[in-house]
Structure 1
Amino acid sequence: MLDAATADRFAALTLGHLTRAWPFKLDQILTGPVDLAEPSVLHPIFHGSFDWHSCVHGWWQVMRLARLYPDNAATPAIEALADRMLIPERVAGEVAYLDRPMSGGFERPYGWGWLLALHDELALRPDRPWAGAMAPLAHAFAARFEAYLPKLSYPVRSGKHDSTAFALIHALRWARTRDRALAHLIEDRARHWFGGDRDARPWEPSGEDFLSATLCEALLMKSVLGAEFGAWLAAFLPDPYGAPTACLRVPADVTDRSDGRLAHLDGLNLARAWCWRSLANDLPDPARTRAIAETHLDAALPHLADDYMGEHWLATFALLALTA
């Protein structure tokens, strides 16, 4: 489980790259010379951590750690950075980027979901102004979800950034206390896409996955279905410990942690640990399920800082797993 020492280690790791300028991977369509600018100009807040979405969930991570461990050594530095960065003027710059031509697909849907998760976390600190400052950006992404989901005929059943289920886990949590229309839309679409799924036969992982498409779907449906979830899960995973789902129980092997895409598999192990832990009490053998999660944690936790290709994001997924 998470403890104060681990929290401080994660926070120190992430503070080391939240404002690190280079390297940085832009998600950008150039429409002309005016679009050429440094990341810190394009993204006044989220210009570190190698890419925009990793910076967003890096902020989610450190803000959650600061809330959970207010007396930790890293907390004053986290809060001071938030006071400097999470301000209306910088948020306005992030919103302005969304208004650029051809930005409709920017970070869809992974970054959208994480931005709402960050805002949800900031709102747990009503003593500070951060959530209020971030609200315009959160509502801008909520509006994008509301426009996009009705047009999505089929869910993206992926283990990467385009996963529909993973993004909606975060978006639904945000929407339920702030935007009932969006919450109902997510619930309706999830039932439409996934409600009839039965007898899963997963082929996982693909070579560059960092999410389990199968387990993320189950975790989303747990949030959507409530009391109906047990029956749905029994039909979706009728034998969670049998041969058809064996691939979900074996940690992925990472061969080169300096290769950013191959390093995704460390994230897959952490994401599976998060999902297995979150689903344990809904499955026939909770202790066995938690043991499966632990094997995945054991495979990934020693490697969070082996190379910057994992260091800039893996601690976020470790925190998800350890606080499941």
Structure 2
Amino acid sequence: MSSPSVSETRLTPQIASRFAGIVLGHVTRAYPHKADHVFNGPEDVAPHREHHPIFFGSFDWHSCVHGYWSLAALLRRYPDMPEAPAIHALFADSFTAEKVEGERAYLDRPLSGVFERPYGWAWLLKLAAELRAHDDPTAYETLRPLANAFADRFKAFLPKATYPLRAGVHTNTAFALRLAMDYAHACGDPDLTVLAMETARGWYAGDKACQAWEPSGDEFLSPALMEAECLRRMLPAEAFGAWFADFLPDLAERRPATLFTPATVSDRTDGKIAHLDGLNLSRAWCWRGIAGALPEGDPARAVALEAAETHLADALPHVAGDYMGEHWLVSFALLALLEG
């Protein structure tokens, strides 16, 4: 295979329209729903929409949040897309001061300190950063109290988080720091910027010769590549290049081989096994980001780009079809396509 460019597979208007239609089909679909909810008493037994007036769709809270991010990202890049009026109407209905306060007030409940930590926290901040980039800042300004609350949660949590979480699922701290940094830069939070950078370096900067024992059976993040993508976002290019050469020293020879082989998805109706389509998409995102930080002519750059294309080709046909993947995979496809 010839060496692909950084963005050989691109987000086109046609793909954007298809993705928007998929997401509009689930962000307000209330059931089925999987709740992250502690019942403090019988008064807490209520439809989840009473607890979450905005993010009640998409099977679970975090998927709904990044569904909104997908719509915001698509709308900013294709403001005249056929789905734009529906997205505008949805945002006008959803991003009101009353509904945002309803979401924020949920965080004040007893035993809510670990609600959606850290994955949902990171996606909420990613959504805020995207809305901040829109020409009309109304939705961002309305959402700010909720974004501030989650930024404050990061600031309280990271100093006491002695160890990183390296699992390839929602608890992965490299993923959370990676998205939180986007928010900190875009929305001007220097305290979170410094804390995220110091934490990432403390957790990961000494890692060498990664074995990449993956994938596990229900991962949607690569523990190895997510760590690398996190540090790529945190470190100057030269420092990252030196670290990365030690972290995956045999990359030019396509080792560890598992990082270059898309995961097999045996049953897309199984919500856990369907995670593996997300793994392939998130690997493509990471490979593209890493490749962009490597110098032209570096053999590892061409290898990384080829790996990104291989994983995208495997997973993009499956962003819709069964609801177990359909309610969230568009977001991961966008992360990869927008990196190009």
Q: Normalising by the residue count of structure 1, what TM-score does the alignment of the two structures yield?
A: 0.98
Q: Deviations over 1:100-139 (max 9, x none)?
A: 0000000000000000000000011142410000000000
**Displacement of 1:243 after TM fit?**
6.1
Within the candidate set 168, 184, 192, 1:175 is matched to 184
Tell me if structure 1 keeps the 8 A contact 2:287–2:304.
Answer: yes
Residues 210 and 267 of structure 1 are in contact (CA less than 8 Å); yes or no, is this contact kept in structure 2?
yes
8 A contact 1:202–1:214 mirrored in 2: yes
**Displacement, 1:267?**
0.3
Q: Which amino acid aligns with 1:258?
A: T
Q: Pairwise mapping of residues 52-63 of structure 1 onto structure 2 (< 5 A)?
A: 52-63=61-72
Aligned position for 2:225: 215
* 1:203 lines up with 2:213 in the alignment: yes
Aligned with 2:309 (options 265, 287, 294): 294
1:287 shift after superposition = 2.9
Quote the residue 2:21 is aligned against.
12
Deviations 1:217-255, CA, capped at 9 Å, x for gaps: 111101111131111111111111436411111000001
In angstroms, what is the RMSD of aligned CA positions? Answer: 1.1
Verify: 1:138 aligned to 2:147, yes or no.
Answer: yes
2:274 corresponds, among 258, 263, 285, to 263
**Residue 243 to residue 72, structure 1, CA distance change in 2 (3 Å):** closer
Corresponding residue for residue 282 of structure 1 = 293
Residue 150 of structure 2 corresponds to residue 164 of structure 1: no
In 2, Cα distance between the equivalents of 1:127 and 1:180?
24
Instruction: Give the match for residue 189 of structure 1.
Output: 199
2 CA distance for matches of 1:166 and 1:321?
14
Q: Which amino acid aligns with 1:140?
A: A
Unaligned runs of 5+ in 1: none
Q: Does 1:125 align with 2:134?
A: yes
The answer to whether the 8 A contact 2:254-2:260 is kept is no
Segments of 4+ moved more than 6 angstroms: none
Whether 1:310 and 2:325 are equivalent positions in the alignment is yes
Q: What is the CA–CA distance in structure 2 between the aligned matches of 1:263 and 1:313, rounded to whole Å? A: 10
User: Which amino acid in 2 is paired with 1:179?
Assistant: D
Partner secondary structure for residue 185 of structure 1 = helix
TM-score of the superposed pair, with normalisation by structure 2: 0.93
CA separation in 2, counterparts of 1:41 and 1:138?
20
